Every structure is written in C-alpha cells, then in structure tokens.
A and B are shown apart, each in its own frame.
Chain A
C-alpha cells in the first residue's frame, strides 16, 4: 500500500524560498513505473499540477512556474523535494505530493499525501 506524506513550513514570508519534503513508503522511487508529482490547491480553488520526477531523474515542470521550481529526490531516503523561490501571497495553498503510475496509458495520480497548508504572509 503506497503512502505519501508532505512536510515543511506552515508559514513563509514573501520573497522567501519554500522547501517541501514528500516522504514515501510502500513503493520505491527507483521503480521504473513510478514517479512523484507535486500539486497545489489554493483555498477553495482548483488543483494545479506543479512538477514531476521519475526514477531516471527526469524532471517536468508547469510551464507557468518553471523558473521558480526545482524538484529533486533522495532515493535512499524515499524522499522527494520541491523548492519554490520568490514566494508570494498568491502561492498560499495546500501542497500535495502524489504518486504517478506509468503502467497505464492514461497516466493518473493513484495515491496522494494528506497535503500541507502553506501560507505566505509577512
């Protein structure tokens, strides 16, 4: 049973850099079928996909945020990291990590963390 859990600060100041950690269990980050994504959701709003990382270290980013995002992983620790620079109040959101299973033609997020709410305020 796959499980994911996000951790990181609950409050960051404008212009600061946010670093989030997703700790996974029940699957390996070295599995060629699996990847991990970060997805966020401002309060009361829609989901927004942010970034992916796969076993071969291939990274993908939302084109509208690519210059602010860096995704990375530590396979030995079963952790995936997301760094977002120059935080702004509009970045206030719940940040989720989710597993991608590439074994399906229609790739989908089949397991999710509980999410972590990050507020951006001075």
Chain B
C-alpha cells in the first residue's frame, strides 16, 4: 500500500489553521497514524487510529478520515509545531508503510 502526502511543503504562520493530507492507494479503514518529527530528533506519535489523540499531545492536533483519505489539522499553529509530519498505515500489519512527509515551515 502506497501512502501519498500533500503538500510536500506548507508555509504557514503562527496562529494559522493548517490541514495536511494523506491518501492511501487502497482502503485502510481507520488504520492510520500521524507522527511529528523535528530536525535531528526521532518521530513522535500524535494521532493513532486516524483520530485518537496520543496521551500528552495538545488538543489542537485533530485527525480525521477513513478508507483512503485522511487529514491532520492543526488549529492555531504554535511555534513548536513547525516540523515535518508523516502518516503511517498499519492496515497491513505486521508490515507498515509511511508517507513521504509534509514539512510545515515558516511563511
């Protein structure tokens, strides 16, 4: 299963509401997870099961979608949210695939 994220780069400003998209090449139900990665750091899971917020993650991160189309919305973008975001499907567990990432950068 191929995972395609768009856009690859998203210029934004603090306070913006931003929406990132992840599309699967075939239906994966709700088996979709989102990660945030900052430069030089390991990824951190934000959302699992398409819409469940990982413990400790701020509520401004909202995941939605089912089947092939998924979104990650960040409400009121904060300075610490500038990072690269990856989606990952677990429909085919125990094998997994990631999207190519969306970099949220300063406009």
Contacts and interface: CB of A to CB of B under 8 A. Distances in A.
Given A62-B95, A106-B48, A107-B90, A46 B42 contact: no
A54 B31 CA distance: 20
A63 B1 CA distance: 12
A113 B98 contact: no
Contacts of B100: 45-46
Contacts, number: 69
Interface in B30-82: 30-33, 35, 41-45, 48-50, 52, 54
Looking at B41, B86, B93, B96, the one whose CB has the most chain A CB atoms below 10 A away is B96
Given A47-B98, A49-B97, A105 B49 contact: yes
A108 B98 contact: no
A113 B93 contact: no
A104 B49 contact: yes
Contacts of B96: 37, 49, 107
A114 interface: yes
Looking at A37, A63, A106, A110, the one whose CB has the most chain B CB atoms below 10 A away is A106
A52 interface: yes
Contacts of A47: 35, 43, 86, 88, 98, 101
Contact of A106 (B32, B44, B97): B32
Nearest to A48: B98
Contacts of A61: 95
17 contacts: A37-B96, A47-B43, A47-B88, A47-B101, A48-B98, A49-B95, A49-B97, A58-B94, A104-B48, A105-B30, A105-B31, A106-B32, A107-B94, A108-B45, A109-B45, A110-B54, A114-B41
Interface of B: 30-33, 35, 41-45, 48-50, 52, 54, 86, 88, 90, 93-101
Interface of A: 35, 37, 45-49, 52, 54, 58, 60-63, 96, 98, 104-110, 112-115
